[in-house]
Amino acid sequence: MPENMLVCDLTQSWSASGGGGISTYLKEKRKYFLEHSEHRLLQIVPGAEDKITVEGRTIFAEVGAPQVWGSPNYRWINRNEKVFELLREYQPNIIESQCPWVLPWLAIRHRWRFPDTALVAGYRTDFPNSQIYRVMKVLSGHYPATFFKKLGYFYAWLTYNRFDRVYALNREAEGMINGVGQKNTGVLGLGVNVDQFSTEHRDPNYRTKVGLPEGKGPLLIYAGRLDNEKRAYTLVDMFKNLPPELGAGMVLLGEGKLRESLIEQSQGLPIAFPGYVTNRKDLATALASCDIYVSGMADETFGISVLEAQASGLPVVGVASGAMPERVPDGTGALGPVDDYISMANNVVKVWRGDYTGMRDRSLKLANSHNRWKQTFEQLINVEYAEALKARDARRDGAFAEPLKRALSFS
């Protein structure tokens, strides 16, 4: 790659204080550019107000944006002209789009004016399934939902084929992108900070601190949005089907549209809702102080939260869909059918009463093999960005060659 390139991250929605997948990725990326890279980094994200923060070779540009309904810690950029203004001012060499909706088209429109710009997209959510089909199925049934899902994949075709390079976070997601026609793709492996997330942060008094009674059974935990996309409702239904003699408790960390409803459904049960954790140290303590990580998410594309749980020594009980089968191999937990809370409850019992110690050890070993944020960004720059620049050059050369060919043919 050429020296001293300016890379721009475009992010539609994120939480400055949270530890979601995109938030973690952006923070680790900024750290990498400050400590290891000769290139510069511009990150455009939603914030409470317009604000530019320059540190070393990084520029952090916050665009004043409203909070997301039901997820007050998240904001959503809706001021397209301000984003265009920032892109025109800084004119990045490479734009990396993190979200599937409006902002990818701002990057595409910007390239019309500045054709030397290379465009890279991260396919981080299988949105035709998770954000379209799943919602529409509840509202209108399978067949209308299938129709709208196909429209979603048409939108994906329309959008991602305009990018020079698209990376996915697992092979299944890469296959989906290939299926809509984009063949210049790669799989980017993400990482986990095993110094930050480890068994050393375990607090033996954690149950009491979150208001749960003492018990000898497993303490389950989930960390993430409490909404329909994450299928958080499955976890409460699962817990209700655990045998009482198991003595289990559960902690659901996070905010979301379903939180109040889930609290109401959990009355009388040993389930704690501590809320949104803004401090990564507190999250590390929470994970290390529990025994099993549970998730009903069916469309996970990578699962940073799963890796963080494994680094904390937790076997994972989830669903056999999305990235979960790659993240949770045999011997590190148990996976079952989507939305099958009975099967999930049985798997919790199976993990706890089975080879629990062996699963903990294998989970820790697996997480340590993913201690690779530095390798992640080396791959991003040396492979994904390099391939995007090659595709840009081919596109740019083709833009000049075709009119010349036609002129020569006419002559």
* Total domains in the fold of the chain: 2
Same domain, 279 and 330: yes
Fill in the DSSP letter of residue 200: G
Query: CB-hemisphere CA count at 13 Å for 65?
Result: 28
CB distance 94 to 385 below 8 Å: yes
- Structure tokens that stand for 281 in this block: 């140290």
Average pLDDT, the chain: 93
Q: Is 339 left (phi over 0), alpha (psi -120 to 50) or beta?
A: left
Domain holding 354, by residue range, is: 199-369
Write down the pLDDT at residue 411: 40
Q: Is residue 1 assigned to a domain?
A: no
Q: Rounded CA gap, 369 and 310, in Å? A: 11
User: What pLDDT digit, counting tens, does each position of 314-337 carry?
Assistant: 999 999 988 899 899 999 999 999
Same domain, 279 and 388: no
Q: Are 230 and 260 in the same domain?
A: yes
pLDDT 10s digits, 124-133: 888 998 889 9
Say if residue 158 is in the same domain as residue 294.
no
- 379 and 331, same structural domain? no
Please write the tens of the pLDDT for every residue from 285-320.
Answer: 999 999 999 999 988 777 889 999 999 999 999 999
Residue 6's region, left for phi above 0, alpha for psi from -120 to 50, else beta, is beta
Kindly state whether residue 285 falls inside one of the protein's structural domains. Answer: yes
Give the tens place of pLDDT for each residue, 370-387: 778 999 999 999 999 999
pLDDT at 138: 85
- 173 and 110 part of one domain: yes
If you compute the radius of gyration of the chain from its CA atoms, what whole number of angstroms results?
Answer: 22
Least trusted range by pLDDT, from 187-191, 226-230, 401-405: 401-405
For residues 256-282, one letter each, b for 16 or more C-beta atoms within 10 angstroms of the residue's C-beta and e for the rest, the string is bbbbeebeeebeeebbbbeebbeebee
Backbone φ, ψ for residue 342 (5° rounding): -65, -45
Give CA–CA dist 168/16, Å, rounded. 24
In this structure, is residue 56 part of a structural domain?
A: yes
Taking the C-alpha atoms of residue 210 and residue 333, their distance in angstroms, rounded to an integer, is 25
The torsion angles phi and psi of 40, rounded to 5 degrees, stand at -105, 155
Q: Same structural domain for residues 402 and 342?
A: no
At residue 401, the pLDDT reads: 56
Q: Is the pLDDT of residue 403 over 70?
A: no
pLDDT tens-place string over residues 165-196: 999 998 888 999 999 999 999 999 888 899 89
Mean local confidence (pLDDT), 62-72: 88
Number of C-alpha atoms within 13 angstroms, CB side, residue 96? 25
Q: What is the pLDDT of residues 87-116, one digit of tens each?
A: 999 999 999 999 999 999 999 999 999 999
Residue 410 has pLDDT above 80, yes or no: no
Structure tokens at 54: 């320059």
Nearest CA among 317, 309, 321, 312 for reference residue 350? 317
The CATH number linked to 90 is 3.40.50.2000
Confidence of residue 229 (pLDDT cuts 50, 70, 90): confident
> With DSSP H G I counted as helix, E B as strand and the rest as coil, what are the percentages for the chain, rounded to 5?
45, 20, 35
CA pair distance 269, 292, nearest whole angstrom: 18
- Predicted pLDDT of residue 348: 99
pLDDT of residue 407: 52
